[in-house]
Amino acid sequence: MFVAAMLDLLPECVTSCLDDLQDCGVMQHVNVALVPGLCKGLSVKRLQVALTDPLAQRTGKYRDLQAWLAASALQDDVKQRAQSILLSIAEAEAYVHGVDVEQVHFHEIADWDSIVDVVAAASVIERAGISGWSCAALPLGSGLVKTAHGLLPVPAPATAWLLKGLNVRDDGEPGERVTPTGAAIVRHVLGISGGEMAHSIHPPEGCLSSVGCGAGQRELQQRPNVLRCLLLEKVGISSESVQQFPYRPLPVMGQIVDAVIELSFDIDDMTPEELSVSLDLIRCNPGVLDAGFHLAMGKKGRPVFTVNVLCHPDAESAVSTCCLEETTTLGIRIQLIHRRTLERRQQTVDGEHGSAGVKSVTRPSGAVSAKVESDDLADLPGLAARRKEASRLRERFES
């Protein structure tokens, strides 16, 4: 279902997927076809796998399957993804049965169609070039499922292990709803390996550009048995979009009007020291104009730090990513705003303790304001000495 949905989403990947299946050696035992159809009236794709030789031998041992993949002609990146997905399933089986991974013997996964699932999934994931993935809550299912170990509760033990930490829900449908292979694919695309706990990953904002629907063979009672994949294109804020801003202040001689992005978010679980370090790292990003915070009151009357960052529009994506990485915030408010600034002039003035930079602007009234760069006075001992030198420099600048 995952492969069918992805190939419906990205039909340009069909040929490369079939080529990868050929390279891995599985096509000498099966025929694979992507077939259009309907599922409760919805247009879907189904990945159909049929054995060409019912007596074809295959192994159920994990180490043999890994060796078989390693020796195949698969491209290295696809091969590594297939081996990673297979390893996740083996680790789940090893945990369930209390054995080493190398001793795992698959049952259902060792069938040729399941091997097709693993390799084809690895192929479409690699070929799709997706930069990030998210996943909605997965249906748990209910009842019993027939396995080589007899009837087991749904989700089966290996599936339950692979679902650890992922959001799940009861959709009211009985039977198996997620297979071990499906759960392993979800963990793989979310970047979760081994026994790590998964995180709740929410879908990003963007422009919905494509939809793919992959159907299973079983008919559900209450809903279509369909897996849907949505492709979102991230929409950045470019200089072109800034030019289309509905209001633009009128230019005035000596003043600069431009558009900037204001990023704001609240922090209630960082110390001022931690936040100061984070803001220093955020300021290092090219395109950042200013970054600071002030104390405010948040939900439930809790004190919070409200962080405000100004940056150039073309730098929004990189700066937002840095804010999400360097602070504990879970989200950012983004506003496109215009600003009006006075034209600044910079010159160097010689003083008694060396030279220093002086910034000056001309006010609308014609008055000139000047300020000495405080960093250039940092080596002077004491506040009084720095203020005295700044006063001398301003006098020399005005003269």
Whole-number pLDDT of residue 200: 43
Helix (H) or strand (E) holding 123: helix 112-128
pLDDT of 73 reads 94
Which two three-digit tokens encode residue 149? 């170990």
Query: CB neighbours of 2 closer than 8 A, spacing ≥ 6?
Result: 117, 121, 182, 185, 214, 227, 229
Q: CB-based burial of residue 382 (10 Å sphere; 0-12 exposed, 13-18 middle, 19+ buried)? A: exposed
Q: Quick one: pLDDT at residue 289?
A: 94
Looking up residue 314, the CATH number of its domain turns out to be 3.30.70.1380
pLDDT in the model for residue 240: 55
Predicted pLDDT of residue 356: 84
Domain final residue, candidates 216, 233, 250: 233
- End residue of a domain, out of 233, 253, 272: 233
Pairwise CA distance, residues 112 & 114, whole Å: 5
Residues 23 and 61 in one domain: yes
Q: Give Cα separations from 333 to 62, 123, 275, 288, 323 (angstroms).
A: 48, 37, 18, 16, 11
**Within this chain, do residues 60 and 180 fall inside the same structural domain, yes or no?**
yes
CA distances from 108 to 79, 104, 301, 321, 351 (A): 21, 13, 55, 42, 83
Q: Verify that 357 and 315 share a domain, yes or no.
A: no
DSSP bridge partners of 45: 36, 214
Same domain, 353 and 211: no
Domain enclosing residue 369, as ranges: 345-398
Task: Say whether both 152 and 250 belong to one domain.
Answer: no
Q: Do residue 215 and residue 363 come from a single domain?
A: no
Q: Report the pLDDT value the prediction gives residue 290, as an integer from 0 to 100.
A: 94
| Whether residues 226 and 253 fall in one domain | no
Residue 106 has a pLDDT of: 84
Query: In which residue ranges of the chain is pLDDT below 70?
Result: 54-59, 108-110, 193-205, 234-251
Q: In this structure, are 227 and 249 located in the same domain? A: no
Nearest to 62 by CA among 19, 21, 22, 118: 118
Query: Which tens digits make up the pLDDT trace of 283-342?
Result: 999 999 999 999 888 777 778 999 999 999 889 999 999 999 999 999 999 988 888 888
What pLDDT, in 10s, does the model give residues 217-243?
889 988 999 999 999 886 655 555 555
**Does 263 lie in the same domain as 157?**
no
What letter does residue 61 receive in the DSSP assignment? B
324 with 306, same domain: the answer is yes
pLDDT of the residue at 369: 86
Query: In this structure, are 106 and 229 located in the same domain?
Result: yes
What's the number of domains the chain is made of? Answer: 3
| Residues 337, 350 share a domain | no
Please choose, from the candidates 148, 65, 73, 157, the residue with its C-alpha nearest in 3D space to the C-alpha of residue 108.
148
φ, ψ for residue 100, nearest 5 deg: -70, 155
SS3 content of the chain, % helix, strand, coil (to 5): 35, 30, 35
Comparing CA positions, the residue from 125, 192, 201 lying closest to residue 164 is 192
Q: Among 187, 216, 233, where does a domain finish?
A: 233
